[in-house]
């Protein structure tokens, strides 16, 4: 065994949560080692992103422009055939004033490319990234975690010591167990996902051609994610009670499910399933909805899927992964800088992470109630976020990942710059919505909610463009902490 190297932080896993936390800690000048068991680029599911990730976290990381240049499909919102309405209905991120203007979109990404960009960016920021290195053990010293042991590509075993170990190893690894507590699987979200890739699937008419399309059918629901002009990610999420639908050969099972869902079958009428390369396999995932009772212990913290995941329906996975990574980095940076005690700093991480997870949990439970119509989903979003001015706005903010009201995502300077562009864009988006409303003839576009939200949205953006106050970064609970001006640490709310 080689002698133990020393770092401030060792991160286990190079997915979006791992690279994000590593980058934010390295940005403060700390020594960070990231150990990834695979060689990047590697496959991962989770392709539909939210604006909060691509403009919020990626903006703070300094990688937004690179992501923009990568040529991913622009996602302006989502289209759903869901609930009691037989016709599809859509939402656009532009409806929320917080996301309007140049930030009113997200991307549909090939995760191999997206995750690779984030990991390379970590390297640029000084993180020591070692691929083909699998962590096998967490090193403890009494109550405290002190480091990890790992095996490199040659099979050699190494130990490293660190003041913090971050478990960002996703949902399949068992490292999270060393944080104490238990992983509790959701009784409600007990679904199985089966997914593959198609060349030549149809696209929705502009401006919705980049939207995620979610279609409920008798046994569950389908996602239809346009990854490029020709490549589409297609997956069925099936309730456990229909588990026999995904038995046997996965490719046959997926074809049979598609045949049961006429809208997806129609979109794929001229398409062929990819059968070679990384997209050639039909994959099955289950047991992915859980939360750990403990997200941290002295010397160790869990982020991303290592801590919790819910459900693919609103693309919350990469958002929760990168947002929790930012929260953890603030706590680590604050303790390493000597600003705050460990207990206080990580209590803030824990509270905010559970709050964001809880928002999505409560809302998605309602969303799965297929007997509701979409206006009640909006109502439910308002109930769980309880600050936005209208139901539709709350819904869009929640599904856009900005409901956390995090100051770093709505930082005053960049928001003012953004809002300067917005008045004109909003007007254009209203007329687009009107046009698509005519095609779809859904109640969404005819509802009073829509009209009043668009009007309110215009007023709020004009006010912001003229220098009106933006939301302050509120403490989540009395006496709680708020992000520092650079977004990378915590400070007491009175210091803001």
- Note every long-range contact of 103-106, with CB atoms under 8 Å and residues 24 or more positions apart, other chains counting: 103/51, 103/55, 103/418, 104/51, 104/76, 104/425, 104/429, 105/51, 105/54, 105/74, 105/75, 105/76, 105/210, 106/48, 106/49, 106/50, 106/51, 106/53, 106/54, 106/74, 106/75, 106/315, 106/400
Q: How far is the CB of 237 from ligand FAD (least distance, A)?
A: 7
Closest CA to 232 of 269, 267, 201: 201
Member of 10, 21, 28, 44 binding ligand FAD (CB under 6 A): 44
Q: Check if the beta carbon of residue 401 is closer than 8 Å to that of residue 50.
A: yes
Residue 468 CB contacts under 8 Å (≥ 6 apart), including other chains? 460
Comparison of 284 and 347: residue with beta carbon closer to ligand FAD: 284
For ligand FAD, give the closer residue by CB, 36 or 406: 36
Strands 77-81 and 89-92: antiparallel
- Residue 169 binds ligand FAD, judged by CB under 6 A: yes
Contact with ligand FAD (CB under 6 A): which of 48, 333, 334, 390? 48
Q: Does 305 bind ligand FAD (CB under 6 A)?
A: yes
Burial 290-302 (b: 16+ CB within 10 A, else e): bbbebbbbbbbbb
Q: Does 168 bind ligand FAD (CB under 6 A)?
A: yes
Query: Minimum distance from CB of 381 to ligand FAD (Å)?
Result: 18
Query: Of 18 and 101, which has the nearer Cβ to ligand FAD?
Result: 18
Q: With binding defined as CB under 6 A, does residue 134 bind ligand FAD?
A: yes
Q: Assess 288 for contact with ligand FAD (CB under 6 A).
A: yes
Residues 183 to 242: which contact ligand FAD by CB under 6 A? 193
- Span from 303-311, 345-353, 354-362, 471-479 in contact with ligand FAD (CB under 6 A): 303-311
Positions in 417-476 near ligand FAD (CB under 6 A):
none
Choose one: 30-38, 95-103, 158-166, 242-250; the region binding ligand FAD (CB under 6 A). Answer: 30-38
Which listed range, 14-22, 270-278, 385-393, 447-455, lies at the site for ligand FAD (CB under 6 A)?
Answer: 14-22
Helix H, strand E, coil C: the string for 72-107 is: CEEECEEEEECCCCCCCEEEEHHHCHHHCHHHCCEE
- Least separation in angstroms between CB 390 and ligand FAD: 25
**Which parts of 308-367 interact with ligand FAD (CB under 6 A)?**
309, 312, 315, 317-319, 321
Neighbours of 387 (CB within 10 A): 12
Among 7, 11, 23, 46, binds ligand FAD (CB under 6 A): 46
> Cα–Cα distance between 330 and 339 in angstroms, integer?
11
What does each C-alpha distance from 473 to 321, 407, 410, 483 come to in angstroms? 21, 4, 9, 7
Question: Minimum CB separation from ligand FAD for residue 211, in Å?
Answer: 12
CA–CA separation, 418 and 412 (whole Å): 10
Return the number of the residue (144 or 172) whose C-beta is nearest ligand FAD.
Answer: 172
CB nearer to ligand FAD: give 319 or 330. 319
- Token pair belonging to 477: 């609970």
Residues in touch with ligand FAD (CB under 6 A): 12-18, 35-38, 42, 44-49, 134-135, 168-170, 173, 193, 285, 288, 304-305, 309, 312, 315, 317-319, 321
């Amino acid at each position: 065994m080689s002698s133990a190297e020393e770092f401030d932080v060792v991160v286990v896993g190079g997915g979006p949560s791992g690279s994000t936390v590593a980058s934010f800690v390295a940005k403060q000048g700390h020594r960070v080692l990231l150990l990834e068991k695979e060689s990047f680029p590697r496959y991962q599911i989770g392709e539909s992103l939210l604006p909060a990730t691509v403009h919020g976290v990626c903006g703070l990381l300094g990688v937004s422009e690179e992501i923009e240049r990568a040529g991913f499909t622009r996602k302006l919102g989502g289209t759903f055939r869901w609930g009691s309405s037989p016709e599809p209905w859509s939402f656009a991120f532009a409806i929320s004033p917080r996301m309007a203007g140049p930030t009113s979109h997200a991307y549909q990404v090939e995760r191999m490319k997206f995750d690779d960009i984030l990991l390379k960016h970590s390297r640029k920021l000084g993180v020591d990234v070692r691929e083909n290195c699998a962590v096998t053990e967490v090193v403890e010293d009494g109550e405290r975690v002190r480091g990890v042991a790992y095996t490199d590509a040659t099979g050699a075993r190494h130990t490293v010591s660190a003041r913090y170990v971050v478990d960002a190893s996703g949902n399949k690894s068992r490292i999270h167990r060393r944080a104490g507590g238990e992983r509790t699987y959701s009784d409600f979200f007990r679904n199985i996902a089966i997914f593959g890739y198609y060349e030549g699937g149809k696209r929705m008419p502009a401006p919705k051609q980049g939207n995620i399309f979610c279609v409920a059918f008798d046994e569950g629901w389908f996602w239809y994610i346009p990854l490029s002009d020709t490549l589409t990610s297609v997956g069925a999420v099936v309730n456990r009670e229909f588990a026999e639908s995904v038995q046997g050969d996965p490719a046959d099972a997926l074809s049979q499910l598609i045949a049961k869902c006429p809208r997806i079958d129609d979109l794929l009428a001229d398409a062929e399933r990819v059968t070679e390369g990384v997209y050639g396999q039909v994959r099955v995932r289950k047991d992915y909805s859980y939360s750990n009772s403990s997200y941290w212990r002295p010397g160790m913290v869990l982020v991303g899927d290592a801590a919790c995941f819910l459900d693919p329906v609103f693309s919350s996975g990469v958002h929760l992964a990168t947002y929790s990574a930012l929260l953890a980095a603030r706590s680590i940076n604050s303790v390493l800088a000597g600003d705050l005690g460990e207990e206080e700093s990580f209590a803030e991480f824990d509270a905010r992470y559970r709050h964001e997870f809880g928002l999505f949990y409560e809302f998605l439970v309602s969303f799965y109630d297929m007997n509701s119509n979409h206006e009640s989903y909006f109502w439910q979003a308002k109930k769980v976020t309880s600050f936005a001015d209208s139901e539709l706005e709350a819904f869009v903010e929640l599904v856009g990942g900005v409901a956390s009201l995090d100051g770093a995502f709505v930082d005053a300077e960049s928001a003012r710059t953004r809002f300067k562009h917005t008045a004109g864009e909003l007007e254009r988006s209203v007329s687009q919505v009107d046009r698509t409303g005519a095609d779809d003839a859904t109640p969404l576009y005819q509802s009073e909610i829509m009209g009043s939200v668009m009007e309110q949205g215009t007023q709020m953006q004009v006010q912001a463009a003229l220098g009106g106050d933006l939301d302050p970064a509120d403490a989540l609970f009395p006496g709680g902490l708020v992000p520092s001006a650079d977004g990378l640490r915590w400070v007491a709310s009175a210091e803001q």
